[in-house]
Structure formats: C-alpha cells, structure tokens
C-alpha cells in the first residue's frame, strides 16, 4: 500500500467485546487471530485490547519498515514490556531513546564478529559435552535439552560460568520470574507488585535471588585484577565515545539480565523447531548430513566452519521463517504519526507480525512447506525488506542476530554429526504455542538414533 493513498476512513476490523475488546481472541490463539485479521481486513487492521486501547496490525512490508525504521522515532516499545522491567530493569529490551542509544553503543562491541568466533568455540564445547551422554534409542524431552544447552552457552559466553553452575544458580529463579512475568504481560488488570499475593511474592523472591547472583558476579569481577574476554569483561570495560563514561553496576546487571533472557529461549526454540522439521523431512536431513560430511568430515566442528555451512544456514533461515520465535513485535505511538494514509494517535498500539508476514503466499511459494533451498541465491534480497524479518529491524534490531545464527548452526551440526532425532511414536500433534516466544506446545519428545554410518569419533572435550 502506498503512503500517498490518503484514506478518508479509519482502518477496519472485527467488532470486539465491550469490555475486553479482542484480548481474549488474541490470547487464546494469536497466530490464527492475526492471520485472519490480515486476510479479512488487509494491510492495516484495527482491534482493541480492553475498553480503550486501540491496536492496529500492520502487514505490508513498506509500512512495517516505516514503523521499525524510517518513522521509528514516533514509537516506543509496547507497554506489555513494562511487565519485564522488574527482571531486566532498563536493559536494551526495555530502555528508550537516548539511554537505549547509549547502551546500544556500549554493548555493540561485545557482538563484533571476532568475539562471536570466540563464543563459537564455547558453543561447540558445551554442545559436544552435553550430547556426549545421549544413548542410542533413548527418548528425550528435546525442548528441555535445547533450553538447558542454550542456557549453558549464554552463561559461559557471558560470565565464563560452567554449564552446571550457570544452570544451578540461574535456571530456577529465571524460570519462576519469567512464568510470572508472562502472566502479568497477558493480564489487563494485575495487582501491583507491593500487594502480597502468592504470585507477587514468588516473583519478588526470584528477582531477589537473580540480583544476588548477578551482583556477586559483578563485585567479584571488579575486584579481579585479571581481565576476562567474556561478555561481562567487555561490558565492564566499555566506555562511551561521547562522554568517556562506562556503565554503573546496576546498568551492567540490567544488560546482563537482558542478554541472558533474550539470548537463550529464542535460540533454544529455533533449534527445537529445526530438529522437529528435520525429523519430518528426511530429504532435507540427508542434504544436511551430506554438507556436514563435505565441510567437516569426521573431525569436531570449528567456528570457522560456519561460513561454509551454507545449506545448514538456509535450514535455520527456513525454520525461522516457518516458526519465528519472535512472532510478533509491538510498539506504542509516542508522537502522532501518519502511516499508509492513516493517522495514529499517541497511545495507540501497533503490532507487526513476523509469523503473518513469513507465511504470505505473495512472497513465499508454498508458504507452509519446509524448503531451505528457497534461501539460495540471496533469495531474502529479492523480496521486499520486512517481508522476512525474524530478527526485527531498525535501531532495535536483535543485537544477538549473528550470535544466534552461529549458535543455531553450530549446535545443529554438532548434534547431526552424531545423531538423528525422530518424534516419539506416541507423540501428540506438534503445534506452536505462542508464549513470549513461539515454542512447541507441550514440548517435543524425540528418540535419539546414533548415526553409526558416519564413523564419527568425538574427541574428549574439556570445558
Ligand atoms: C533465533 C534467535 C533470536 C531471535 C529470533 C531473536 C529475535 C529478536 C527480535 C525480533 C528482536 C526485536 C524486538 C523488537 O524490535 O521489539 C530482538 C531484540 C533483541 N535480542 Fe534477539 N533474537 C534471537 C537471539 C538473541 C540472542 C542470542 C541474543 C543475545 C545473546 C539476543 C539479544 C537481543 C537483545 C538484547 C534485543 C534488544 C535489542 C534492542 O532493543 O536494542 N537475541 N531479538
């Protein structure tokens, strides 16, 4: 839709309930609801959350670009992110305007290519160690395995914590805090945190526990004379070019928590979906095995292999297309703005949905099929920008996008060099469950099959 096509009417949408609007429909099946909205009401559809909150779903690549990039100054992050503030404070995901820009400048160096190659070795070490105990024929809860592995990887790359240590001290409080935060994000009216409900008490205890661990780590590091090349070391050394100042301990804590949260569940879900898709598409799986054999053979993978694993990268791109972990992105209008011929007022909420866009027939032939080959020959550059955007875009584009791609490819390769995974015979139908990120509903149980044909002999690894 052209921006010039000034319309004399406001965007259309279904009639909602008087008090709740469309909140219930959105919450009960957001993927189906958002897809239906686009199909029935076009590129800009109007709904309501609660009695007064106007919400617009925008589903045209050029208009999405205006929201995320060219007119982004008119927006702030949507209000539901405020529910995460007790956990992540004023970290990158929640901070706004100058503070966000400053923090982004300070943190960006930790995600430079050279560092990501170093993290790549940690990714390989953690994965090979984790999967070394998998037994031929056993059934595993793969969604849980991917979560534990991703948590181990982020703990190691961020603060050089051993896998078990990271999981022991952070795993449980994070899970409790996130469970409550999601509940708070999804409820219109919630008791403020000072009301001593059971859930508020649990939430506050979990946050207290996390704070204790993180401030201890930061304190210890401040006392430590020896420099460490992990993310924490880079964040603590960072100085702003403009004012020469670094981050306070609270800022370091908020950013650690943010990266920690944003950086494990997303990638874990991407990996779970990929393993599921491979189990359903043996023809793609054998091409993957073939590429691993050609590029790596029988040795252990190395971070430098990443660039040569092009088919594997396309498998991940295609999996992120079908099941984008960040399936919807929200913004709130901070200053009135015109987009696509419509006027949006301060306080309006705008949604753009990766899931909706990635499944559009106009940009993707047979959108429901799993076909990594479509990403060959720079396919993503041949479709409009923001028809495909698993990592968002503009100044708030995912800071961990290269990290995530490196991790997804290396973990997948380490697993596939040794094993193939099959869905357990009595498995329920696998369907997506949109929580904060898109995950397989009720988890993924898979049977491990050792790939004897590879003759792969893992070297002993020490982590
Ligand atoms: C497949 C994995 C991942 C996906 C699909 C993903 C997706 C996204 C998306 C869509 C956004 C933009 C949200 C918005 O505009 O409101 C985002 C932001 C962010 N992501 Fe990721 N992410 C992934 C992995 C990671 C990893 C591994 C890290 C860190 C190690 C990370 C850290 C962040 C941070 C800090 C932000 C906030 C950036 C800002 O606002 O400046 N993400 N991610």
Tens of pLDDT, residues 86-117: 888 999 999 999 999 999 999 999 999 889 99
Q: Look at residue 188 and tell me whether its pLDDT is greater than 60.
A: no
Tens of pLDDT, residues 225-282: 777 778 899 899 889 888 889 999 999 999 998 998 888 899 999 999 999 999 999 9
Tens of pLDDT, residues 279-314: 999 999 999 999 999 999 989 999 999 999 999 999
- Annotated binding residues: 398
Calculate how far, in angstroms, residue 17's C-alpha sits from the geometric centre of ligand 1.
34
Q: How confident is the model at residue 224 (pLDDT cuts 50, 70, 90)?
A: confident
Q: How confident is the model at residue 455 (pLDDT cuts 50, 70, 90)?
A: low
pLDDT of res. 189: 58
For atom 6 of ligand 1, which residue has the closest CA? Answer: 391
CA distance 391 to 88: 20
Question: 49 in helix, strand or coil?
Answer: strand
CA distance 124 to 301: 7
Q: Is the CB of 398 under 6 A from ligand 1?
A: yes
Q: Is the CB of 400 under 6 A from ligand 1?
A: yes
**CB crowding 336-354: b at 16 or more within 10 Å, else e:** ebebbbbebeeebbbbbbb
**pLDDT averaged over every residue in the chain:** 90
Q: Is the CB of 321 under 6 A from ligand 1?
A: no
**Choice from 100, 398, 437 to test ligand 1 binding pocket (greatest atom count within 8 A of CB):** 398
Calculate how far, in angstroms, residue 385's C-alpha sits from the geometric centre of ligand 1.
18
**Count of other CB atoms within 10 angstroms of residue 416:** 22
Calculate how far, in angstroms, residue 263's C-alpha sits from the geometric centre of ligand 1.
7
Q: How confident is the model at residue 166 (pLDDT cuts 50, 70, 90)?
A: low
**Count of other CB atoms within 10 angstroms of residue 364:** 21
Minimal CA–CA distance to 206: which of 188, 187, 184? Answer: 184
**Count of other CB atoms within 10 angstroms of residue 125:** 19
Q: Look at residue 461 and tell me whether its pLDDT is greater than 50.
A: no
Q: How confident is the model at residue 214 (pLDDT cuts 50, 70, 90)?
A: confident
Cα 257 versus chain centre, distance = 14
Q: In whole angstroms, how far apart are CA 200 and each of 9, 188, 197, 206?
A: 44, 16, 5, 10
For atom 23 of ligand 1, which residue has the closest CA? Answer: 266
Q: Cite the beta strand spans of 364-444 per DSSP E.
A: 419-423, 432-434, 438-440
Average pLDDT over every residue of 441-448 = 97
Q: Look at residue 391 and tell me whether its pLDDT is greater than 50.
A: yes
Residues 6+ apart with CB under 8 A from 412: 271, 274, 275, 288, 312, 315, 316
Calculate how far, in angstroms, residue 212's C-alpha sits from the geometric centre of ligand 1.
25
Ordered domains of the chain (ranges, CATH): 23-88+96-454 (1.10.630.10)
HSE, side-chain direction, 13 A CA sphere, residue 50: 8
């Amino acid at each position: 839709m052209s921006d010039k096509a000034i319309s004399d009417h406001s965007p259309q949408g279904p009639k909602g309930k008087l008090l709740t609007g469309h909140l219930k429909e959105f919450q009960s099946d957001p993927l189906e609801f958002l897809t239906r909205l686009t199909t029935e009401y076009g590129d800009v559809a109007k709904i309501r959350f609660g009695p007064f909150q106007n919400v617009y779903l925008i589903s045209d690549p050029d208009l999405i670009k205006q929201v995320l990039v060219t007119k982004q100054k008119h927006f702030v992050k949507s209000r539901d992110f405020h529910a995460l503030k007790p956990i992540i404070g004023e970290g990158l995901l929640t901070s706004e305007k100058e503070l966000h820009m400053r923090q982004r400048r300070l943190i960006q160096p930790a995600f430079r290519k050279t560092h990501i190659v170093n993290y790549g070795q940690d990714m390989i070490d953690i994965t090979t160690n984790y999967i070394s105990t998998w037994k031929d024929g056993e059934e595993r809860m793969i969604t849980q395995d991917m979560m534990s592995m991703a948590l181990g990887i982020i703990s190691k790359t961020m603060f050089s914590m051993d896998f078990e240590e990271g999981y022991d001290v952070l795993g449980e409080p994070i899970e409790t805090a996130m469970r409550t935060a999601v509940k708070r994000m999804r409820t219109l009216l919630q008791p403020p945190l000072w009301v001593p409900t059971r859930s508020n008490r649990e939430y506050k205890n979990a946050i207290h526990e996390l704070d204790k661990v993180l401030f201890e780590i930061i304190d210890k590091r401040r006392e430590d004379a020896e420099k460490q090349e992990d993310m924490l070391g880079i964040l603590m050394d960072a100085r702003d070019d403009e004012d020469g100042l670094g981050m306070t301990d609270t800022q370091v804590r908020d950013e650690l928590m943010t990266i920690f949260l944003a950086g494990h569940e997303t990638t874990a879900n991407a990996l779970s979906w990929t393993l599921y898709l491979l189990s359903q598409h043996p023809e793609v799986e054998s091409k993957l095995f073939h590429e691993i054999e050609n590029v790596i053979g029988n040795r252990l993978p190395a971070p430098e292999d990443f660039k040569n694993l092009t088919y594997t990268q396309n498998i991940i791109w295609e999996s992120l297309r079908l099941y984008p972990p960040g399936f919807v992105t929200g913004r709130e209008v901070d200053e009135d703005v015109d987009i696509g011929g419509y006027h949006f007022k301060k306080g309006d909420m705008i949604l753009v949905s990766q899931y909706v866009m990635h499944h559009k027939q106009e940009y993707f032939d047979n959108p429901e099929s799993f076909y990594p080959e479509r990403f060959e020959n720079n396919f993503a550059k041949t479709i409009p920008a923001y028809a495909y955007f698993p990592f968002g875009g503009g100044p708030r584009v995912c800071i961990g996008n290269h990290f995530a791609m490196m991790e997804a490819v290396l973990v997948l390769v380490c697993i596939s060099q040794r094993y193939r995974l099959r869905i357990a015979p009595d498995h329920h139908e696998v369907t997506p469950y949109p929580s904060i990120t898109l995950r397989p509903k009720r988890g993924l149980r898979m049977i491990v099959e050792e790939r004897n044909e590879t003759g792969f002999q893992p070297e002993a690894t020490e982590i």
